[in-house]
Amino acid sequence: MRPVELADKVAVITGAGSGLGAALARVFAEAGMAVAALDIDPATAEQTADEIAARFGVPTTAARVDVGDPKAITDAAAHVEATLGGCDVLCANVGVQQFGALDRLTDQDWEWVLSVNVLGTVRTVRSFLPLIRARGGWRRIMVTASSSVLVPGVRLGAYITSKFAVQGYAETLRAELAAEGIGVSVLFPAGMTTRHLETSASARPAERGAWTMLPDDIEVMLASRGTDEASHVVTPDHAVRNVIQELQADNPYIITHGTYRERYQLRTAAMDAAFDRLEQA
């Protein structure tokens, strides 16, 4: 597939104030795209926008967006249209983590994680899709799931459940938008050196209760997934190194990094075995 010229395109990234979102902003800016950096923390969103504008010389804008608030997202879409003229690539990237064994998670835990990770993704796409449709030509939507969808582990039940939902949503969205030439991809990042836990804790509304994590939660989770932390954790910039090429090719799934393919194949083999048993019954 011949690469598309990106210099006149606009990328919109939620959660762009730090970590994976900021790395995505840098990737698109380096490709010559204008970038809208959206984040619940307006200061970090502005920092990302200012950094890439100075470094790459592309148009940028920034706005505070709480994906848990539908009006905030529709307002952001209007802001992006007014400042950058539209949207060609949307990265619905925001996600929060809540550790805890399933029997320890409260209704408030579940409601918060699902509202941000699932409904936040739905709201983001719903608000920006009219801008994407209005552009015509090469257009992409990328939603951020997690490697934990492919190889689940313990003590991340609410987060993993939400990311399973995000994958299902994106796969359906891809089928529904295919006739319009709008590609949809699912990003599966593994561990990264980010502030994700810190930003998750700070983003949790006080009325949802305190954000908690036991001292051994991460250790137990990694052990349950059989992951080697040294090879599983990379910088966000390394994780997104191939995103442009993957989106250009309109690949439905993007694996960023990690050494968990063998464990994933054990899972798919078990599913294949279930089909075998059905066919032999």
- Active-site residue set: 159
Terminal Cα-to-Cα distance of the chain (whole angstroms) = 44
Q: Distance between CA atoms of 233 and 227, rounded to whole angstroms?
A: 10
CB-CB contact of 256 with 239 (8 Å): yes
CB-CB contact of 146 with 121 (8 Å): no
Q: Distance between CA atoms of 174 and 181, rounded to whole angstroms?
A: 10
Q: Distance between CA atoms of 188 and 57, rounded to whole angstroms?
A: 30
**Beta bridge pairs of residue 37:** 13, 62
Q: Distance between CA atoms of 270 and 248, rounded to whole angstroms?
A: 33
| Cβ neighbours of residue 237 closer than 8 Å, sequence gap 6 or more | 23, 26
Q: Tokens 């100075």, residue?
A: 54
Q: How far is CA 86 from CA 146, 197, 226, in A?
A: 28, 32, 43
Cβ count within 10 A of residue 179: 7
Cα angle, residue 86 at apex, residues 82 and 92 outer, rounded to 5°: 110
By C-alpha distance, which of 216, 8, 176, 213 is closest to 97?
213
- Burial of 85 (C-beta count, 10 Å sphere; 0-12/13-18/19+): middle
Q: Distance between CA atoms of 264 and 168, rounded to whole angstroms?
A: 17
